Amino acid sequence: MRLTSYGAALGVTGSCHLLEIGDARFLLDCGIFQGEGQGERNEEPLPFDPKSIDALIVSHAHLDHIGRIPLLIKAGFRGRIISTRPTYELARISLLDSARILDYDARRANRKRAKGEPRVEPLYEEEDVLETLDMWNEYLEYDRAFAVGDELEITAMDAGHILGSSFLCMTLTEGATRKKMIFSGDLGNVDKPIIRDPFVPPEADIVLLESTYGDRNHQPFSNTRREIVEAINETIARNGNVMIPSFALERAQELLYVLYEAWRDGELPKHAHIYLDSPMAIDATRIFTRHPDCYDEETVALASSGGNPFRFDALTYSRHTDESMRINNHSAGAIIIAGSGMLTGGRILHHLRRNLHREECSVIFCGYQATGTLGRKIVEGELQVEIMQHIIPVRSQVHTINGFSGHAGQDTLTWWAKQTNAKKILLVHGETRAKEALGTHLAKETRTTDISVMPFGEPIEL
């Protein structure tokens, strides 16, 4: 039995781990590399033979865990694809959106190329995604064992990271040898709206553990909630509009939950207009409404008392462009949630173009802003920025609100790892500093003596 990491080994993206048990070969996730200077890594041929893989098991629907699956299929993978049902549904909208963006970018690049110059080909196309989705038709249920084959049995447990996310508890069998291994996927932060906290894991021999926030803890979510409501109220009192750049999956729905509660409890003015101005976020919200089985206790209680954070008087969904443009009629009192989360594109740019120069307005960032993105420039205090070929002075109030992170902080990771009583912990999915800090902390706080950082492309005997 051996495990080899082909992504999320050195950094946090491109999650992809090959599990070999005898002649059987399984892949855990197949994510895309993201961030500055990482894009080219996706163009490289996959470092294993995709035709030889029997099954791919997917932990959750973020692109850094699923984004290379269409490439896998393009390269000849014909095995099974297995995940929870909400993961499949969210992956569907995410991969189709990704194919549209790749197509748009390739067309735009080709328009600039002279005749005879080689054409830019998108990494994959919508057809590859449709092919992927056709093959993705086996579903895990939380807490229920699923036999992938004689060599591998999996029980998915709620990872509390995004809707449908799971950590995978596996029994590996090779002849008379049996091992228990857990792949953490991405573990969630505690006390987040809508979804549950990560489940308590069972005991295991080996744990493959994410470490994104292995070097720090998050502020309590109640502080986050208070800060965002305050920032909105100050803006509305100044007669401004609020712009909240957001990812379409999970973050947008959590924001709606927070805004709904504040509006219902009279903490936001009753005349506030909340807009979800993103077709993809609207599609994702629909998937959330279809899976109340994934809600935490508070959200279940809310739903049974007739409350609905996804449908209330102050909330408007703007699916079509003309609906989005109508938001411009508000010079004040609008709370606009739109993508993209780091301002790398999307409708939020139109709202910024109209409002960013107005000092009574505000931009509320509640997600990580990567180096080089427009979001990062605004957060770092640039006095003017370029948006859609226009130079716009930054006069709006800029708020950065922490605590929305979907990842477990150091204490939660440690608590979780401790429950597994693992003999061996392999750290993945973190920057070097985070992995080192978590490794040191785990060595002190758990009984595990064998803690190491998973190398890239080097098989580890289990």
Stretch that binds Zn ion, among 57-65, 108-116, 344-352, 445-453 (CB under 5 A): 57-65
Give the torsion sign (CA, 41, 208, 132, 55).
Answer: positive
Burial class (CB in 10 A: 0-12, 13-18, 19+), 331: middle
The runs of H, that is alpha helices, within 50-195 are: 63-66, 69-74, 85-112, 126-135
Relative to beta strand 24-28, strand 55-57 is parallel
Stretch that binds Zn ion, among 12-20, 84-92, 179-187, 210-218 (CB under 5 A): 179-187
- Name the residue nearer to Zn ion (CB basis): 186 or 215: 186
Q: How many other CB atoms are there within 10 angstroms of residue 368's CB atom? A: 17
**3-class DSSP assignment, residue 378:** helix
- Name the residue nearer to Zn ion (CB basis): 151 or 186: 186
Report the nearest approach of Zn ion to the CB of residue 311 (Å): 27
- Name the residue nearer to Zn ion (CB basis): 186 or 254: 186
Residue 454 carries which DSSP code?
A: P
CA 97 to CA 237: how far, in whole Å?
37
Stretch that binds Zn ion, among 18-26, 58-66, 280-288, 304-312 (CB under 5 A): 58-66
Report the nearest approach of Zn ion to the CB of residue 366 (Å): 16
Report the nearest approach of Zn ion to the CB of residue 40 (Å): 22
Relative to beta strand 166-174, strand 390-393 is unpaired
- Name the residue nearer to Zn ion (CB basis): 163 or 387: 163
Report the nearest approach of Zn ion to the CB of residue 117 (Å): 37
- Name the residue nearer to Zn ion (CB basis): 62 or 192: 62
> Per CB under 5 A, does 158 bind Zn ion?
no
CA 78 to CA 409: how far, in whole Å?
37
- Name the residue nearer to Zn ion (CB basis): 94 or 373: 94
- Name the residue nearer to Zn ion (CB basis): 402 or 421: 402
Report the nearest approach of Zn ion to the CB of residue 63 (Å): 9
CA 427 to CA 211: how far, in whole Å?
7
Choice from 9, 28, 34, 62 touching Zn ion (CB under 5 A): 62
Stretch that binds Zn ion, among 60-68, 70-78, 260-268, 437-445 (CB under 5 A): 60-68
Report the nearest approach of Zn ion to the CB of residue 323 (Å): 30
Report the nearest approach of Zn ion to the CB of residue 218 (Å): 15
CA 278 to CA 321: how far, in whole Å?
10
- Name the residue nearer to Zn ion (CB basis): 62 or 399: 62
Give the torsion sign (CA, 70, 72, 78, 84).
Answer: negative
Residue 241 carries which DSSP code?
A: -
- Give residues 85-144 in contact with Zn ion (rule: CB under 5 A): none
The runs of H, that is alpha helices, within 37-84 are: 63-66, 69-74
Report the nearest approach of Zn ion to the CB of residue 347 (Å): 23
- Name the residue nearer to Zn ion (CB basis): 228 or 408: 408
Q: Is the peptide bond before 211 cis (omega within 30 degrees of 0)?
A: no
Residues listed for the chain: 462
Q: In which order are the strands placed within the sheet that holds 2-5? A: 136-140, 80-84, 55-57, 24-28, 17-21, 2-5, 460-461
> Per CB under 5 A, does 186 bind Zn ion?
yes
> Per CB under 5 A, does 250 bind Zn ion?
no
- Name the residue nearer to Zn ion (CB basis): 62 or 196: 62
The residue count for binding Zn ion (CB under 5 A) is 2
List residues binding Zn ion (CB under 5 A). 62, 186
